[in-house]
Structure 1
Amino acid sequence: MDVVNQLVAQGQFRVLKVPLGFIKVLQWFFAIFAFSTCGSYSGMFRMSVECKNRTYSDLKIEVEFEYPFRLHQEYFRAPTCVDGDKETVFLVGDYSSSAEFFVTIGVLAFLYSAAALGIYVLFFDKYKENNKGPLVDLGVTAVFAFMWLVSSAAWAKGLSDVKTATDPVQVVTLIRACSEKVADRCREVHDPVMSGLNTSVAFGFINVVLWVGNLWFVFKETGIIAPFMRAPPPQEKPASDAYGQQGTYEPDPYASNQGGYQPDYTQQGYNQDTDYGQGYSQQGAPTSFSNQM
């Protein structure tokens, strides 16, 4: 607990809040869900065989199967409807390769995600040192993204075949009394529940999305893209004027409040007492001309 408190105090867990660490946590969880829902599965279905002689009938034939789905090794006992003997009937198919491949990728992805989270929290500075950690992480992430795609697609096809091989309607035809019409009636009683296996396929493709999406965030940590992301050139700032404002200062010659030279006509003799002023009336007509008239 002291180590955890120290890491929290140093802010080491902050990497889990960014996409690089947060997606790795999701990969860790969904890898668990993927391989556990597939690897821990066990199913069962029931059939009934009614013979003409009711004492030979068997109305509760239970067939069990489980991971890794080597169905050719699973068998059950069915009545022959001829006498009291029963025959051994084996299921058809071996789908262990796709199931085991899917579970193996899930376990390895879980272990790598846990190890990567530990490095992110404890040794993130060394992880980014010399750019070796992000490059290795990028390569491993790309491999797991591809392997998740291949294993999920293979398991989806394998699951479809498992459903067909464990369909009670198809299995009934394997019973000799039913195929030879010796029995009066052969029917299914209970279908196997495949919801857990369907969920495992869904988790597999979710992992594909998570690992492919994480490629971008790991790639950014490598710094390979940094030389291609050029900053925009700095913009030149206009010179400041004497008043502290940007742009050049242009005085307004028409402003009445501006300083500078303004001619004062009243100081140069241009008033009503000059010779020129005496020759005009207030209406603008020359007074000397009116006197001559």
Structure 2
Amino acid sequence: MNLQTLPGLFISHGSPMLALDPEQVGPALQRLSLNLPQPQAIIIMSAHWESEALEVSTAVRPETWHDFRGFPQELYEIRYPAAGHPELAEEILHLLAEAHIPAHANSTRPRDHGVWMPLLHMYPEANIPVVEISLPMNMSAEQIYQIGQVLAPLREKQILLIGSGSITHNLRELSWNGDNSNVPTWASTFRNYVVSKLTHSDYGAVLDWQQIPFVQKNHPTLEHFAPLFFAMGTGTRFSVVHSSFSMGALGMDLYRFD
């Protein structure tokens, strides 16, 4: 593996307020980017682009989409004007076709906050092209993992692959007053189980997500957990970059796959 090969990442992007209040994870994302070679481009699967079939953004310069309500006006004024990369999008579509994974081009989709919010901390100058791919919710965990495997060789071209979701994500159980001190046992147990299995290279136990303790409590719907399957496919050596909880039960972990 050459020195310029980039890892795959799983990023817990948390609440939209992360853009204004970085807590612990914002500086961790910044440090992570400083410790990596400068990417030629970024490919990111976000929890906030759910689709039937897999889609790939071919837009030249997607709009910044504020896909949330009820937050401070300052948040809606943020823009992340990084260019798209239609040529890379076409390469992605070609790789997927070769692997017999159906995928479609989408030239109109704006960028959701699962993309621009973490990148705001990692690459604030927005000077690296970004291609977003959708989260195909009709695919199994193994199929989403396979998408990561198919795109993993792009890491050797200095392309950063990211799954953007959250290691835990039950908004009804959060302490919206900002109390981070009391992490519920069901959240820490779930997080620790996943990390233990990944640390011991037991990816199968994570892909068999229905058997993970407290999975329904942590993920009433699966869209914030599923980008981890994509990230897992990008590399076989797992490490924890950062671990913390926000608002009690919202896991803010960052994982690296080499």
| Higher RCO (CA-CA < 8 Å; seq separation 6+) | 2
The structure having more radius of gyration, on CA atoms, is 1
When you count strand as a share of all residues, which structure comes out higher?
2
When you count helix as a share of all residues, which structure comes out higher?
1
Instruction: Give your verdict on TM over 0.5.
Output: no
Q: TM-score, normalised by structure 2?
A: 0.20
